[in-house]
Amino acid sequence: MMVLGTLLLSLILVTRTCLAAECACSTLNVHIRQGPGTSHAQLGMLIPPHCLTYTGQQVTAEGYTWAKVEYQKNHHVGSTTSGCPHIVSRQEWGARAPHGSAGRLSHTPKYIFVHHSATHGCHTQSSCAQEVRSFQNYHMDSKHYSDIEYSFLIGEDGNVYEGRGWDMVGAHTLGHNHDGLGFCVIGTFTHQLPNDAAMSALKRLIGCAVTMGKVTSTYTLKGHRDVRPTECPGQKLYDVIRTWPHYG
């Protein structure tokens, strides 16, 4: 079944090379959203050099112009070998609707905080989705948060799972939920590192945040323990991120 999605127009080219119809072709990895604006659910991702049918409609939202396209949910448009990692949307991992909203970030964040979940890890999309659902249940039902804590979560399957997403205030790092994004690697990394797939996804997610303007270009990278009395994100993972650019 075809559904309508929207793409950020500044990141696509509209051409007439798609079976004689107008098409939207990505120049960067672009999220396909259920409606105009990043507050809408992500349906998938359009990856260069692939195209989707453009309906000829444009909508302005959040200061950007969005293009409406036809999108088939189960259609795979390509692999994510460069640019942003593959992000599994809330809809895809089975998220509950949040209890209200903590609000949107008022300014571009200047921090990225790395966490670990301090649980067992996961190595398939189905098992990681199950873990993410369990985190959301715990955060909402036991900690009484409006939603899952983190902005994004990373599994050892190499996927990134959309938490609150790029533009919403999180509950991941006390004192920095309004000026930082929280990226949580699923697993416990006190005595071992995440596997290569997870480490690559984490690096690419950080790069994606910069490319998309979701953090300042002069962002500071920190571990959770840098601002709170905790072992998070685990000693092994912490030792590595301290060697990465922008750590401070």
Distance CA 159, CA 44 (A): 13
Beta partners for 244? Answer: none
Phi and psi, residue 202, nearest 5°: -65, -45
- pLDDT tens for the 248 residues of the chain, in order: 234 455 544 444 445 445 445 777 766 667 677 777 766 666 666 665 567 777 777 777 766 677 787 765 443 333 333 468 999 999 999 999 999 888 999 999 999 999 999 999 999 999 999 999 999 999 999 999 999 999 999 999 999 999 999 999 999 999 999 999 999 999 999 999 999 999 999 999 999 999 889 999 999 999 999 999 999 999 999 999 999 999 99
The reply to whether 175 and 60 lie within a common domain is: no
Contact 213, 108 (CB under 8 A): yes
The enclosing domain of 22 has a CATH number of 2.30.30
- Given a contact cutoff of 8 angstroms between Cβ atoms, the answer to whether 156 and 195 are in contact is yes
Residue 200 lies in a domain: yes
Q: Which of 46, 79, 112 is the last residue of a domain?
A: 79
- pTM of the predicted structure, to 2 decimals: 0.70
- Check whether residue 25 and residue 64 sit in a common domain: yes
Determine which helix (DSSP H) or strand (DSSP E) holds 210, and give its type and residue range: helix 196-211
What gap in Å lies between CA 21 and CA 23, rounded to an integer? 6
Q: Do both 72 and 98 map to the same domain?
A: no
Q: Judge if 136 and 23 occupy the same domain.
A: no
**Is the residue at 235 inside a domain?**
yes
Same domain as 98, residue 74: no
Tokens coding 79: 């692999």
Within a 10 A sphere around the Cβ of 39, how many other Cβ atoms?
16
HEC-encoded secondary structure of 73-87: CCCCCCCCCCCCCCE
Of 93, 72, 89, residue with least CA distance to 38? 89
Q: Measure the CA–CA gap between 171 and 173, rounded to whole angstroms.
A: 6
Residues 119 and 221 in one domain: yes
Q: Are residues 196 and 107 in the same domain?
A: yes
Max CA pair span of the chain: 60
Give 59's contacts (C-beta < 8 A, 6+ positions apart).
6, 36, 65, 66, 68
Range of the domain at 27: 2-79
The verdict on 65 and 159 lying in the same domain is no
Q: Are residues 125 and 190 in the same domain?
A: yes
Same domain as 40, residue 159: no
DSSP letter at 31 equals E
| Shared domain check, 231 and 111 | yes
CATH code assigned at 109: 3.40.80.10
247 located within any domain: no
Query: Does residue 66 lie in a domain region?
Result: yes
Is-cis flag, bond preceding 233, omega within 30? yes
Given 12, 44, 79, the domain boundary residue is: 79
Number of structural domains (the chain) is 2
Q: How far apart are CA 172 and CA 61, in angstroms?
A: 27
3-state secondary structure 121-140: CCCCHHHHHHHHHHHHHHHH
Rounded Cα gap, residues 173 and 112, in angstroms: 10
Q: Which residues pair with 58 in a beta bridge?
A: 67
Q: Is residue 84 part of a domain?
A: no
Q: Is residue 246 part of a domain?
A: no
Q: Are residues 126 and 74 in the same domain?
A: no
